[in-house]
Amino acid sequence: MCSSSSILWVALGILAHGQGPLRSAHAQAQCPCIRSTPWGRLSNNDKSHAQTLGYNAGTWDMLDFAEARVEWGRWADLSAERREAAAALEYADAATWDCCINHYYDYDYDELKLNYPEALDAVVALGYSKQYWDGPEWRYDPPLIEAKTWCDSVTSDQEDICVNRAEIEALKTLCYSPSRYRAEPLSGRAATGYVGYEHC
């Protein structure tokens, strides 16, 4: 989807140049926990690497809308300097960057079909059509998932506003966590337990 940001950047990038295709979204390593660590708790070294990638305190702490432009691109398009900074933050290859940071957002529908069929299955399960995914978004109605959030728990009467279990599994295939579906910054989530991946 090579177009503008959607409501929750739930819209969710794949041929990694110089590396073979991943073939399975689940084949990548667990996503590093550092991206879910508030800026104020990062070491000075980590902040420096994040700044090399184009982050600042505001864009780092706000996961939901991918405000840091670097998150819109795939690993293959990062400069050598940015790859080095990403690797220092444990995003050392296309597998971790393209799923955990880009969520395959920079790849079109046919690239997903050819190289990342599980990611495409997840995209389809979330209600995205080829036309909408490839854009331009404004020409097509967005899928309902773009108006939902990842709630603590979901009852049947909340399924129109909260992602359901099947949608959560699809989102996990695209390396999303609850943190990326909450419209408040990381720095305000310390007491909620709603930060990061289950393994963090």
Q: b vs e for 171-181, b when ≥16 Cβ sit within 10 Å of the residue's Cβ?
A: bebbbbbbbbb
Instruction: Write down the pTM of the prediction.
Output: 0.78
Distance (Å, whole) CA 69 – CA 158: 33
Among 62, 69, 63, 51, which residue's Cα sits nearest to residue 4?
Answer: 69
Q: Are 25 and 173 in contact (CB under 8 A)?
A: yes
pLDDT at 111 over 60: yes
More confident residue, 154 or 70: 70
- pLDDT at position 46 is 98
Average pLDDT of the chain to the nearest whole number? 78
pLDDT at 173 over 60: yes
**Domain limits of the chain?**
25-188
- pLDDT at position 185 is 55
Per DSSP (E only), the strands in 15-93 are none
Q: Are 149 and 163 in contact (CB under 8 A)?
A: yes
pLDDT at 195 over 80: no
Q: Looking at residues 69-79, what average pLDDT do you find?
A: 95
Q: What is the DSSP letter of 27?
A: G
- pLDDT at position 126 is 95
Enumerate residues 6+ apart whose C-beta is below 8 A from 89.
32, 34, 35, 46, 49, 50, 53
pLDDT at 15 over 60: no
Q: Looking at residues 168-195, what average pLDDT do you find?
A: 67
Q: b vs e for 98-125, b when ≥16 Cβ sit within 10 Å of the residue's Cβ?
A: bbbbbbbbbbbbebbbebbebbbebbbe
Structure tokens at 10: 């739930």
Q: What is the pLDDT of residues 114-164, one digit of tens each?
A: 999 999 999 999 999 999 999 887 788 889 998 888 776 666 666 678 888
Q: Are 151 and 163 in contact (CB under 8 A)?
A: yes
- pLDDT at position 191 is 45
